[in-house]
Structure 1
Amino acid sequence: MTDTAPQDSSTSTDQSSHYILNREYFTECFDQSADTTVSLKTYRLAILLIIMSAVLFIVEAEPHIAWFLLALGAVELLSIRYKRSWWVARQMLSRRANSRVNVRIDEQGIYTDSKHHQQSILWDDIAELKTTEKGFIVIHKGGTNYLSRTGLDKDFLALLNDKSNAIT
């Protein structure tokens, strides 16, 4: 995440910045926005896979399928235990890793654009704009996005805070 600069000097509320989607950004994104509560519901799929494999072992069905389901259950348990590392590693393996994302905010909404994806989130489409310790969670019709405070200048943050107060 690097410097910010006004994109159009004629509009004081039009701000832009850019981020590099690197390991630090993905880690911050996960830490600030992911639900890390662990309950029985979290383990539901792993338990189901292990039970299905146990049933197949008991009825002496095809052992390859039973072993496969048992392995899937183990992988699911590992993905729960190492949820953060698992998610960050998957993001780092994606084609978006280490790419630059330009972010622009104005009176109409928040706009992001990179080599692989363009998105516009209009203020009318935003249901909630949560402020976190290190950024903002934008909940909108199309899903949820995270916007880090790092690299954003004071005007950009002030506009986001104003919009956050207006939405909630």
Structure 2
Amino acid sequence: MTQPFEYSTRYILDKSHFSETFDQTVTEVAPQKAYLKSLVIGMLGAILLLATELNPYISWFVVAWAGVEVLSVRFQKSWWLARQMISKAANNELTLTIDEEGIRSQSTSVKSFIAWGDIIKIEQTSQGWLLHFEAGKSYLSSRCLSPEAQAFVAQKVRTR
């Protein structure tokens, strides 16, 4: 009788971890499509400013909002990293447990469990695994896993 697999590790949710997560999970969007929301908001602001009698402060706010949207597209990674680094999870220790039931993550601000049965698709990336499930997706970095844990996850990929 074989022993059920269980692996547990701890690591810090630091800038390098968040940077790797972003790099491995970002989906590239065509520049025209990425800036479309900014363009629409900017045009709305210009229309409010030039064609209505609405308070100019509101119109200028909408124009400024369009500018912020442009910056969020242009500096997408920096923007995302900054938001992660000011979150409650940043620079806290996370305990990751992988077993026959699924993947558990626990820290002072996060407690999650993803059952293997809930995972729709597992994609191997250059530095880890992207786990797709009904509520979204999650990234599992190889750098925090032992060779045995990596083999276990790879075996789960093959059984899907």
TM-score, reference length from structure 2: 0.93
Residue in structure 1 matched with residue 64 of structure 2 by the alignment: 71
Percent identity at matched positions?
33
Q: Hey, what does 1:113 align to over in structure 2? A: 106
- Counterpart CA distance in 2 for 1:112 and 1:142 is 16
Structure 1 residue 26: deviation in Å? 0.4
SS in 2 for 1:98: coil
Name the structure where helix makes up a greater proportion of residues: 2
Q: Deviations over 1:20-57 (max 9, x none)?
A: 11100000000000113234332222111110111122
TM-score normalized with structure 1 length: 0.89
SS in 1 for 2:33: coil
- The correspondence of residues 119-138 of structure 1 with structure 2, limited to 5 A, is 119-138=112-131
Q: Which amino acid aligns with 1:150?
A: R
Counterpart CA distance in 1 for 2:52 and 2:131 is 51
d(CA) in 1 for partners of 2:133, 2:66: 33
Which residue is 1:5 aligned to? none
Query: Mind listing any 5+ residue stretches in structure 1 that lack a counterpart?
Result: 1-9
The count of aligned residue pairs is: 158
2:43 to 38, 51, 68: 51
Which stretches of structure 1, 4 residues or more, deviate above 4 A after TM superposition? none
The answer to whether structure 1 residue 89 and structure 2 residue 82 are counterparts is yes
Letter in 1 for 2:142: R
CA distance in 2, matches of 1:64, 1:48: 19
Equivalent in the alignment of 1:101:
94
CA displacement, residues 69-127 of structure 1 (integer Å, 9 cap, x when unaligned): 11000000000000000000000011110011111111111111111121111111000
Does the CA contact (< 8 Å) of 2:131 and 2:138 recur in 1?
A: yes
**Cα deviation, residue 60, structure 1:** 4.7
Pairwise CA RMSD: 1.4
